[in-house]
């Protein structure tokens, strides 16, 4: 298992649109395992392939308390079930150290494939719903900071750019 490097805002590679996964092979299995290892090591609850510079439509999540419910979603999409918006204080492994309130639809129905290519469907609400919507956004080149004010986004960008210069 390998720990992958996580791209950080405002890296332009986070803006790429990911392409569907068409091959379900050993290479995909390895990528999924590396993404879980990377997410757990960084103490995250979700990670999209885009964040590790792989522009394919897959994500891993584990919103459980005990970190014992890994879920890999391949080619995920969702339908809004409950339009009511819920607020979460969102963070992102690609925007380390920053959290902002984002409103998203409360309940969704998720359609995806598992790691074998088998179709899966389920309803999600609460943190799971928010997290899946946040991660699918990554596959479309979107970040949670796109939902906040330009002023706040620019402040975050400048602070992270300063950090990146220090460690470069």
Q: Which residues bind Co ion (CB under 5 A)?
A: 92
Stretch that binds ligand QAP, among 1-9, 28-36, 42-50, 158-166 (CB under 6 A): 42-50
Q: How far apart are the C-alpha atoms of 29 and 7, rounded to whole Å? A: 21
DSSP per position, 2-65: -PPPPP-TT-GGGGPPPBPP---SHHHHHHHHHHHHHHHHTT-SEEEGGGGT--BSEEEE---T
Which residues are marked as active site? 135
Please state the closest distance from residue 86 (CB atom) to ligand QAP, in A: 11
How long is the chain? 168
Q: Considering beta carbons, is residue 28 or 92 the nearer one to Co ion?
A: 92
* Residue of 57, 134, 138, 153 that binds ligand QAP (CB under 6 A): 134
Interaction between residue 104 and ligand QAP (CB under 6 A)? no
Distance of CA 48 to the CA centre of its chain: 4
Which 80-99 positions form the footprint of ligand QAP (CB under 6 A)? Answer: 88, 90-93, 96-97
Residue nearest to ligand QAP (CB): 44
Q: Considering beta carbons, is residue 28 or 143 the nearer one to Co ion?
A: 143
Q: How far apart are the C-alpha atoms of 139 and 147, rounded to whole Å? A: 16
Distance of CA 113 to the CA centre of its chain: 16
**Residues in the site for ligand QAP, rule: CB under 6 A?**
42-46, 88, 90-93, 96-97, 130-131, 134
């Amino acid at each position: 298992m390998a720990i992958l490097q996580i791209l950080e805002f405002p890296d332009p590679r986070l803006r790429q649109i990911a392409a569907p996964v068409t091959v379900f092979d050993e290479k995909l299995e390895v990528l999924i395992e590396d993404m879980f290892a990377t997410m757990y090591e960084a103490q995250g609850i979700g990670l999209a392939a885009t964040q590790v510079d792989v522009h394919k439509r897959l994500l891993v999540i584990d919103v459980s308390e005990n970190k014992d419910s890994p879920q890999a979603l391949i080619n995920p999409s969702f339908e809004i079930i409950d339009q009511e918006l819920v607020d979460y204080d969102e963070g992102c492994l690609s925007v380390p150290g920053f959290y902002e309130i984002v409103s998203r639809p409360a309940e969704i129905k998720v359609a995806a494939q598992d790691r074998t290519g088998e179709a899966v469907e389920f309803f999600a609400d609460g943190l799971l719903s928010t997290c899946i919507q946040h991660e699918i956004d990554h596959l479309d080149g979107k970040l949670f900071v796109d939902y906040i004010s330009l002023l706040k986004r620019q402040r975050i960008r400048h602070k992270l750019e300063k950090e990146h210069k220090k460690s470069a």
